[in-house]
Chains A and B, each alone.
Chain A
Amino acid sequence: MCLSIPSKVTHIDEESNVCTVDTMGVERKASLDLIDQPVVIGDYVLIHIGFAMNKIDEEDALASLEVYREIIEKMEEEDRRQAILEDDNCPNRG
């Protein structure tokens, strides 16, 4: 299965163009030969079969998360409203 867990670059060997990455606590090495933009320590990359395929835009990732949070907050608000309406109409209310 192709996983797409972001890996954080922790070390770069410029001579071999190989970086060391941390993926959820697992450390391994990956080639930077396919990366078409500068990579520095602390960047997030996607690793696939021994190569960094692309940088993961930190801002984009955070923005995506923010979208989800907004949805949840919105839904929760609707849920709350729905719950109040249902409560108003609750047949068990004496």
Chain B
Amino acid sequence: MSDLQLKDLYDGFRDPDTIKAFKKIIDEDAKKLEHPINIMEVCGGHTHTIMKYGIPQLLPDNINFVHGPGCPVCIMPKERIDHAYVLSMQEDVILVTLGDMIKVPGSNGSLQDARSKGADVRFVYSPLDCLKIANENKDKKIVFFAIGFETTTPMTAALMDTVIKQDIKNIYFHINHVTVPEVMRELIDSRDEHVDSYNHQIDAFLGPSHVSVISGSKIYEEFPRDYKKPVVVAGFEPVDVMQSISMIVKQFIENRCELEIEYKRLVSYDGNKKAQDLINIYFEKISLFKWRGLGNIKDSGLKLRDEYAKYDAEVIYKDILPIAQIEDHKLCICGDILRGMASPPECTIFGTACKPSTPIGSCMVSSEGACAAYYKYGNLL
């Protein structure tokens, strides 16, 4: 076998000639389509790639994207951010979280605001960084505000595993892990209920990349089978996305409806069994999890199993965590955007009152949010 050079791999998946070659194939195949097709990319990473590389402009008019709810920061409801805010304001607590979570406004402000009021809020690149913080601050309680889909859940489970094995006394968990198939199902079902009120049908899905590395493609089986929506699990590079679109278009013109994997270099049908086992040891489903803009979705969230309640910040701090339900901002249409019923430019406050420096809705906060991607790359506006 020849040596695989990193540069070859990297450049190969961004190669303009390859992208153009796929464009030609898609253009030819799309002429044979009986009706236009709308493809929902579930994952925020795909939204970012699609916008950054201008993929919509490369596609024929009868292939459109619908942006899905796959950004863990975007779908976090204010109620959960308020939990984090309250926890962070405890004198003996260091609140630790990932990504853009720190910037998302709750009803009292963001975690960044809490920090400006003296709270010890820290952003880390890996859950394992909690171990170092805990070791250096033995008189403090480290609360890990865990976020993300199937992708990041096993990392939280691995931290939990280490905490137990090393008998670490000052790390606690506030779990906000959510699952992809349940929200995909909700999007299809809820749209069926509002058939007159949406203007973007979902005809097929681009399956998330990293989620599928962990869970395997098997979690999407029901969508081609029961809902007649093809799913192609796609990698993040523009060539991956173009190839995946080509695979979806071919399914339509060949009258197939299947679950396929484009991202074979990393995704298998069964996924990462060790990671799945670790998740099952520590987590169980909760009956309802509220998604920002989408409301309560059945079985879509996880919690620590009861036997680990002594590590569960939601149990320990039960008496001080707010329980009030909060409405989303009236002018913000993040919910419709996450549902694929509207596109960011259709929002009256997009780019005016709501922009990355002053986000009102969560889709503008995270760089993976559809609004932020449109704002950053959407020169077409």
Contact = CB atoms under 8 A, between A and B. Distances in A.
Interface stretch (B19-27, B57-65, B282-290, B298-306): B19-27
B133 to A, nearest CB: 13
Interface stretch (B101-109, B177-185, B199-207, B269-277): B269-277
Interface string A13-45: 000000000111000000101111000000010
A50 B275 contact: no
Given A34-B275, A48-B151, A62-B2, A53 B129 contact: no
Nearest to B271: A54
B266 A49 contact: no
Nearest to A51: B155
Nearest to A50: B126
Contacts of B367: 1
Interface stretch (B8-16, B31-39, B80-88, B224-232): B8-16
A2 B209 contact: yes
B6 A49 contact: no
A48 B156 CA distance: 12
A61 interface: yes
A35 B4 CA distance: 21
Contacts of B24: 75
Given A5-B10, A51-B158, A58 B236 contact: no
B130 to A, nearest CB: 10
B126 A34 contact: no
Contacts of B239: 68
B258 interface: no
Contacts of B209: 2, 4
Interface in B99-152: 125-129, 151-152
B266 A68 contact: no
Q: Which of A22, A23, A56 has the most CB of B within 10 A?
A: A56
B210 A2 contact: yes
B368 A61 contact: no
B381 to A, nearest CB: 21
Q: Which of A23, A56, A71, A74 has the most CB of B within 10 A?
A: A71
A1 B72 CA distance: 11
Contact of B272 (A22, A36, A62, A74): A36
Nearest to B18: A68
B4 to A, nearest CB: 5
